[in-house]
């Protein structure tokens, strides 16, 4: 299963690789990391990587995660999108649901919970 993580905090790469090392080693999950919404869209346009899931941070410089979500759901409706935010406010939640988010997670990410959510997609 191919998963793209979109977050402007680059240290998230190491964290995900540590938390999912068993799944990565057994080739159950494959992660790609991009550090802006704009780069996520470029990657989607340039590759046929058969993404199943995108985990997108809401608060990023430039295009935010909610804007990215709206575009993904319009242009790539089969890709699941989980929104991730450090700010669990009603506005962001309501907007994410309105734009078609498949789930909404708050930071710090509870990785065992995330693993359960991902396994439900199989």
Range of the domain at 115: 2-119
CA torsion 39-7-5-40 (nearest 10°) is: -10
H/E stretch holding 54 reads: strand 51-57
Average pLDDT, integer, range 41-70: 93
pTM assigned to the model: 0.95
Domain count, the chain: 1
Q: Enter the DSSP assignment of 60.
A: -
- The pLDDT assigned to 121 comes to 87
User: How much is the pLDDT for 3?
Assistant: 96
Cβ-based neighbours of 52, under 8 Å, separated by 6 or more: 1, 2, 3, 79, 80, 121
Find the CATH number of the domain harbouring 37.
3.40.50.2300
DSSP 93-122: HHHHHHTT-SEEEESSP-HHHHHHHHHTT-
Taking 80 as the threshold, does the pLDDT of residue 48 lie above it? no
In total, the chain counts a number of residues equal to: 122
| Residue listed under structure tokens 């790609």 | 32
Q: Which among 58, 54, 72 has a CA at the least distance from the CA of 4?
A: 54
Mean pLDDT (the chain, rounded)? 95
Are 56 and 3 in contact by the 8 Å Cβ rule? The answer is no
């Amino acid at each position: 299963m191919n998963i793209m993580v979109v977050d402007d905090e680059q240290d998230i790469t190491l964290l995900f690789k540590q938390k999912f090392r068993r799944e990565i080693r057994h080739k159950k999950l494959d992660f790609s990391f991009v550090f802006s919404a704009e780069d996520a869209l470029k990657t989607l346009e340039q590759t046929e990587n058969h993404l199943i899931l995108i985990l997108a941070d809401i608060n990023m410089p430039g295009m935010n995660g909610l804007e990215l979500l709206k575009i993904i759901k319009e242009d790539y409706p089969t890709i699941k999108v989980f929104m991730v935010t450090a700010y669990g406010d009603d506005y962001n939640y309501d907007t994410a649901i309105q734009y078609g988010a498949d789930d909404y997670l708050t930071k710090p990410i509870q990785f065992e919970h995330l693993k359960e959510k991902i396994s439900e997609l199989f």
